[in-house]
Structure 1
Amino acid sequence: MITSAQLKASVLTVNSANFDALALDIFRFQAQNNITYAKYLKNLQVDVSILQSIQDIPFLPIEFFKTQTILTGDIEPKVIFESSGTTGQNTSRHLVADPDFYLQIAEQIFEKFYGKLSDFTILALLPSYLERNNSSLVYMVEHFIQQSKSSDSGFYLNNYQELGATMQRISTENPDKKILLIGVTFGLLDFAEAGLDLFFLQDFNNLIVMETGGMKGRRKELLREEVHEILTKAFAVDKIHSEYGMTELLSQGYSFGDGIFDLPASMKILLRDVNDPFNVENQHRGGINVIDLANVDSCSFIETKDLGSFATGNQQFRVLGRFDNSDIRGCNLMIM
């Protein structure tokens, strides 16, 4: 019988040609070994033995991560990631049995899109996430900081003066060094509006500014275009990059600008009819269903509360907003 370790090895080498076959293998594995998902499929009267297309796979509503134990196999979680939430909200909990695999796939995805982490200095502005000790984003960025092997890499919280001075020194002393400034949206806006002289960035071409979404109740919600206009002017960059990730996913999508996200080999998006959650045939706009093959030990088939549209084919998409009745989440809050 196929094992979790074998499936993870396949995820690391998956490509567009064998994605669907691997997704079906993981579906059958999880249908048999994930108690919560198996019950869900049984209640839907799904005959797992005859299902032959990823379009026919039922996606687990993301709310289940708030109320149920989502684990595939008789395993113990080593890390529990928890989503952010306002007071009184139930938060999602992702039980991760193999955090090393999470870091491996996250690093592989980032380097596929952006190149070696060792070429970067990673400057992180994630104050709201650092207030918790169970953020998947902080866990990933902390690993990126270590892999960058730069003494300047780190979490800078609200010390914008030091952050600005570090960026200026790198731009002067090592202008070929790439800088990744990654932050929650309100943190980047606060930095941009801190009154610092960032004129030196006009002559520095190796800065990537990446927002992870979310005002966290700290600032008024803005349209993505408004945020990106403010940030491009402040940091003298042509585009603002973005990350599409969430507590319930181990893979990430990335946008190089304009809110268009590219997917890694381990992810695929299907769009569902907003009135029929089981209809994903020929939908170009609708609710976002995510196949994340990296979620071998939890569930790889997740019905999110995000609304989206395809940009080009099915490996590029936009996030348009969220369903009206869904909780505010830490990622992708801004409406296009």
Structure 2
Amino acid sequence: MQNDYPAIKHLVKEFILNHKNQNDSFSEVAKQLFSFQYQNNQAYRKFCRKRRISPNNVHTFTDIPPVPINAFKEATLACSTAEDAEAIFMTSGTTNPEKKGKNIHQDLEVYDLSMETYFKDCMLPDLDRIKLIILFPSKAEMPNSSLAHYLDLAKKQFGTTESEYVVSKDGFDMERLKQLLFVAEKTNEPVFVLGATFSFIQFLDECSEKGIQFQLPTGSRIMETGGAKGKSRSVDTVELKNKLANLFSIPSYACGNMYGMTELSSQIYNQDFKQYFLKQEQQPSFMKSPHWVKTLIVDPETMLEKPEGEKGIIVHYDLANINSVLAIMTEDVGVKEGEGFHLLGRAEGAEAKGCSLAVEQFLSSNREDLT
């Protein structure tokens, strides 16, 4: 049924671009996408059949069974072959270098549209372009990194010609970063510093040790993207935000956070800068998904949605994830609040056991393909 791919891609693109009646139509688009993935994604189809779920008995998007995120390390979850892919994004393999999750993209048209639309909405609502200083290696150096592709897009679509990378596979050029920040102070040109969390932590330690602080121009901002696991010491997110705001002498609302993962095709952001720009009442910092992603907080054993204020496992329904699976159960713990959620960290205890059970259920449904 791969000949249906252009039609389903067009449907999702229209949904991303059209902001009207989204709540009414999300399930309709999700059901059509699920039908496409059920027919074309063999490993996912076996998982669904084990649960006695098919397009015939899915009535709303919550009926679509989410795949545990570690399943991407155990099976090929794709509607097309790797040979036909424009891109294959792979996880870092921090936990187990022998097993890396793979998200196979037949093309990147919807992925790029998703990134550009919500990045602009949340992080650059006031500007078309700004000088970007990127704390991560380039796409050329890391072609299988979804984050490298994401930051390359940001540079191309929203960066000025003076934008540049200060991290490469050879290391982090902190002296160059300091130089660029001092130039911004002198020229009064706003800058946008963005990249992996562990690089920001390294830079914080360097500047703290040497007693360095910057006075960045009005309109400057930063955005850290997670990814500190196994790379540096752990820092509480609120503490990190406060320290970065102090280091760069920028208001806390100008400190952005992006939540994303290789296995998804969309990103989620805190809403601080957008609230400030729209002159909305500043609320406690929370993450909010774009309208083409539904994020639920669930009990990992029952898969029932948790009431607001109760912690559970985060499940994303991402319409932009066309070529793999739209429903993914993460190993992250969150709490729903209003239209968004708070990210609390990795699953432990009962939540972790529930996630492990979900992986085992996936493996049992695909056992003959994995032996």
TM-score by length of 1: 0.86
| Structure with the higher helix share, 1 or 2 | 2
Indicate the residue corresponding to 2:146 in structure 1. 136
Contact 1:14 1:265 in 2 (8 A): no
- The verdict on how the C-alpha distance between 1:281 and 1:319 changes in structure 2, with shifts beyond 3 A counting, is closer
Contact 1:129 1:135 in 2 (8 A): yes
Indicate the residue corresponding to 1:192 in structure 2. 204
State the distance in 1 between where 2:139 and 2:329 align.
24
Q: CA deviation at 1:275?
A: 3.3
| 1:251-266 → structure 2 map (5 Å cutoff) | 251-257=266-272, 259-266=285-292
Secondary structure (helix, strand or coil) at the match of 1:192 reads: helix
Contact 2:198 2:231 in 1 (8 A): yes
**Structure 1 residue ranges, 4+ long, deviating more than 6 angstroms after superposition:** 128-131
Q: CA deviation at 1:216?
A: 3.8
From 12, 27, 45, the equivalent of 1:20 is 27
Indicate the residue corresponding to 2:91 in structure 1. 83
Contact 1:192 1:235 in 2 (8 A): no
Indicate the residue corresponding to 2:369 in structure 1. none
State the distance in 1 between where 2:65 and 2:182 align.
51
Secondary structure (helix, strand or coil) at the match of 2:312 reads: strand
From 109, 123, 126, the equivalent of 2:136 is 126
From 57, 60, 65, the equivalent of 2:67 is 60
Secondary structure (helix, strand or coil) at the match of 1:290 reads: strand
Indicate the residue corresponding to 1:169 in structure 2. 183
From 305, 323, 340, the equivalent of 1:280 is 305
Q: CA deviation at 1:118?
A: 3.9
Indicate the residue corresponding to 1:320 in structure 2. 344
Percent of matched pairs sharing the same residue: 27
Indicate the residue corresponding to 2:336 in structure 1. 310
| 1:81-160 → structure 2 map (5 Å cutoff) | 81-86=89-94, 88-113=97-122, 114-115=124-125, 118-126=128-136, 132-157=142-167, 158-160=172-174
Q: CA deviation at 1:145?
A: 0.9
State the distance in 2 between where 1:82 and 1:199 align.
36
- The verdict on how the C-alpha distance between 1:47 and 1:146 changes in structure 2, with shifts beyond 3 A counting, is closer
Indicate the residue corresponding to 2:280 in structure 1. none
Contact 1:125 1:183 in 2 (8 A): yes
Unaligned runs of 5+ in 2: 273-283, 357-371
Paired residue total: 320
- The verdict on how the C-alpha distance between 1:254 and 1:65 changes in structure 2, with shifts beyond 3 A counting, is same
Contact 1:245 1:253 in 2 (8 A): yes
State the distance in 2 between where 1:254 and 1:95 align.
24
1:5 and 2:9 correspond: yes
Unaligned runs of 5+ in 1: 328-336
Q: CA deviation at 1:259?
A: 4.8
Question: Which whole-Å deviations, capped at 9, do the CAs of 1:106-152 have from their partners, x for residues lacking one?
Answer: 11111122237742111111259987431101111112112235232
RMSD value over aligned CA atoms? 2.6
2:108 maps to a residue whose letter is P
Secondary structure (helix, strand or coil) at the match of 1:12 reads: helix
1:81 maps to a residue whose letter is F
- The verdict on how the C-alpha distance between 1:128 and 1:174 changes in structure 2, with shifts beyond 3 A counting, is closer
State the distance in 2 between where 1:71 and 1:218 align.
30
